[in-house]
Every structure is written in structure tokens, then in C-alpha cells.
């Protein structure tokens, strides 16, 4: 089986911390040898080998990746929501009324029961209050600063260190073989853009995500964009194929997800005829990360797990297929 690595591709692998001697012989060293790893390598080989019946020209080699639970950790709560809760506390001095107003009162008092009772409506209020009222640049700066100090409650590491090493290798391997890798996430596009290039090698223009309303205006004679506390587009579930079409303009030939929120993206990608790859990351490792699927409140994997068998998607068993989960501590 021939693996094609361009010079730029080799440099991309070096950037992930994979030793050169290993990178030249094994593009996915953090994956255990087995059918899942073999299937990923076989797909990339077949669609990039000229003369292959499955050959795909480079401009059409588009791969989309969900973020939460696919590229980085999403338990015990989505990282972006952890950011929003911390922002409520940071902004409290500017909003004394929050001490007596739900759901902000619940956040400030650490009342998780009351916060849960606020439901989706409360979550939207919190996100609107903490993500708007500033320019995109100002928002991304607050995220960058938060990521530099916030720590995961279980692992005690920065959230942006809890990316999945095996998936970093997949990203680098696919780019080394002429793929353009995109993020297609239910999380906020601007939130992800604050770290995606540094952590994943995915530039801001290749991030498709949920959006809040943003308007153009002039302030002090200068043109700016300003974020408003209103939802513009939710890039989740059936919204993902729509967002991909609007933001990318090409149908992916490979899609990676981990939850029911990725179901429609996976279906749209793989039920298009010709050679396609659908991959579902199944969280099965309670010791090294978390084990959850059908009953989880975060990253629920139920319908998509059933669909994987019907549409012949690869199901990555984290415990079985990954030698390691997270990169070494920086």
C-alpha cells in the first residue's frame, strides 16, 4: 500500500510532533493497527492514486470534521459553554442585576439544578449575554485569554490541550494527500476560529459553525463589525449540510463526527455515490477520557450509531483503536 507524502505534507506531520522516521512509514502512529486504521488509510490511498477507479481530483478532496467530541473533549460540558459560564462571573461587576435574575443568578451561585431548569432558553440567554456586544476581534481575544488560564475540571489541563492526538494525525495525513480539511461544528464559528489554526492547522476561513447576527457600522470614523445578541444560524443537525454548502460550496467526500448532531452531515457526504468515507468517533474509554453514547446529555450518539451500520460508516472505538488520546502535556 503506497502512501503519498508531499514535502508540505511531511512538514505538516512534523508540526504534530510525530517523529520523521515514524511519519514516513506510518501516517497514523497513535492508532492501533486494525480494520479502522486500515480503512482510513485505504480510502485516502484509493482516492488520491492516479489511475484508481476511485481517484478524486485535488480540488474535490474536501473533508469535514465536527469539533466537540470529534477533535477535542466535550465532557462534562461543551467547552464553549464553560467559557460562557466563566464570562458571566467575569462580567458580574458590570451587571449587578444578574444577582437577582435567572439564569445568571444560578451561574453566580453555582446552582446547577436551577441552571438545568432554565433549559435551552436559559443557555441561549447566557450565550447571548457573553458572546455579543463587541467586535469579532474583541470576542476572539476574550476566548484566547480564557483558554490560556481555564482548566478542565477532571484533567487539570488547558482545554485546548485536550485535543485528540489520533485526530490531529488524520488531519495532517489528509492534508499531506491533497485534502482541504474543514471544521463543521454546532459550536460558534468565531469561538473555534480563535484556536483552530494553532491547534488543528485549520485556518479561520475553513471553519463553518453557528453564528450570531453581526452588523457593519462606523464608529469614530472607522468601519467595524459588531456582534448582536441574536442567533443568525445554527450549524447543527440538518443545518450542517446547509452550512457546509453555504460556507464551502463543495460536497465533502469524507466526514467525521461523533454524535446525532452530525447525522445529516454524514448522510449528505456518504449517500452521494462513488467512494465516500463516513467516520463516527465512539467514546468508549472511561479511564482515559469518557464513555458515553445513547443516554448522554452532551454529544448524544443514538440515531447516528444505528445509521452507521446501515450506511457503512467507520465507528472508531476510542478504547480499542487509539493508543493514546491526548497529546503529551506541553
The pLDDT score that the predictor gives to residue 330 is 63
**Digit-coded pLDDT (tens) for 115-160:** 999 998 999 999 999 999 999 999 999 999 999 999 999 999 999 9
Cα–Cα dist 51/32, whole Å: 30
> Is-contact 257 307, C-beta < 8 A?
no
Q: Which residues contact 54 (CB under 8 A, 6 or more apart)?
A: 46, 47, 274, 275
Coil, strand or helix: which one is 278?
A: strand
Q: Quick one: which of 284, 326, 288, 295 has its CA closest to 36? A: 284
For residue 142, the model assigns a pLDDT of: 98
pTM recorded for the entire structure:
0.91
Query: How does DSSP assign 132-201, residue by residue?
Result: -SS-HHHHHHHHHHHHHH-B-TTT-SBGGG-B-HHHHHHHHHHHHTTPEEEEEEEEEHHHHHTTHHHHHS
Sign of the CA dihedral running 153, 159, 161, 162: positive
User: In angstroms, rounded to a whole number, what is the distance separating the alpha carbons of residues 293 and 315?
Assistant: 12
Q: What is the mean pLDDT of residues 51-61?
A: 97
Please say whether the structural domain 7-74+163-213+233-321 has been given the CATH code 3.40.630.10.
no
pLDDT exceeds 60 at position 22: no
Sorting pLDDT into bands at 50, 70 and 90, what band is 3?
A: very low
- Residue spans per domain, the chain: 7-74+163-213+233-321, 79-149
Average pLDDT of span 306-318: 97
Amino acid at each position: 500500500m503506497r502512501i503519498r507524502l508531499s514535502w508540505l505534507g511531511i512538514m505538516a506531520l512534523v508540526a504534530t510532533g510525530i517523529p520523521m522516521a515514524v511519519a514516513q512509514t506510518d501516517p497514523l502512529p497513535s492508532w492501533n493497527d486494525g480494520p479502522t486504521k486500515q480503512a482510513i488509510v485505504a480510502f485516502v490511498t484509493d482516492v488520491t492514486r492516479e489511475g484508481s477507479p476511485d481517484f478524486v481530483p485535488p480540488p474535490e478532496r474536501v473533508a469535514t470534521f465536527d469539533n466537540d467530541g470529534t477533535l477535542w473533549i466535550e465532557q462534562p460540558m461543551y467547552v464553549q459553554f464553560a467559557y460562557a459560564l466563566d464570562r458571566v462571573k467575569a462580567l458580574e461587576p458590570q451587571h449587578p442585576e444578574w444577582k437577582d435574575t435567572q439564569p445568571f443568578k444560578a451561574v453566580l451561585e453555582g446552582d446547577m439544578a436551577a441552571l438545568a431548569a432554565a433549559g435551552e432558553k436559559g443557555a441561549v440567554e447566557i450565550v447571548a449575554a457573553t458572546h455579543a456586544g463587541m467586535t469579532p476581534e474583541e470576542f476572539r481575544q476574550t476566548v484566547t485569554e480564557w483558554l490560556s488560564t481555564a482548566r478542565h475540571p477532571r484533567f487539570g489541563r488547558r482545554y485546548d490541550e485536550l485535543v485528540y492526538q489520533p485526530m490531529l494525525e488524520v488531519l495532517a495525513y489528509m492534508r499531506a494527500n491533497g485534502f482541504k480539511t474543514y471544521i463543521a461544528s454546532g459550536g460558534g464559528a468565531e469561538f473555534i476560529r480563535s484556536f483552530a489554526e494553532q491547534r488543528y492547522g485549520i485556518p479561520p476561513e475553513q471553519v463553518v459553525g453557528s453564528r450570531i447576527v453581526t452588523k457593519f457600522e462606523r464608529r469614530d470614523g472607522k468601519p467595524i463589525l459588531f456582534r448582536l445578541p441574536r442567533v443568525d444560524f445554527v450549524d447543527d443537525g440538518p443545518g450542517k449540510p446547509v452550512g457546509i454548502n453555504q460556507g464551502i460550496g463543495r460536497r465533502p467526500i469524507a466526514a467525521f463526527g461523533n454524535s446525532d448532531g452530525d447525522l445529516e452531515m454524514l448522510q449528505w457526504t456518504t449517500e452521494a455515490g462513488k467512494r465516500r468515507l463516513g467516520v463516527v468517533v465512539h467514546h468508549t474509554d472511561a479511564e482515559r477520557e469518557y464513555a458515553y453514547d445513547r443516554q448522554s446529555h452532551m454529544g448524544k450518539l443514538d440515531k447516528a450509531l444505528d445509521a452507521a451500520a446501515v450506511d457503512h460508516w467507520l465507528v472508531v472505538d476510542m478504547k480499542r483503536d487509539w493508543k493514546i488520546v491526548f497529546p503529551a502535556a506541553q
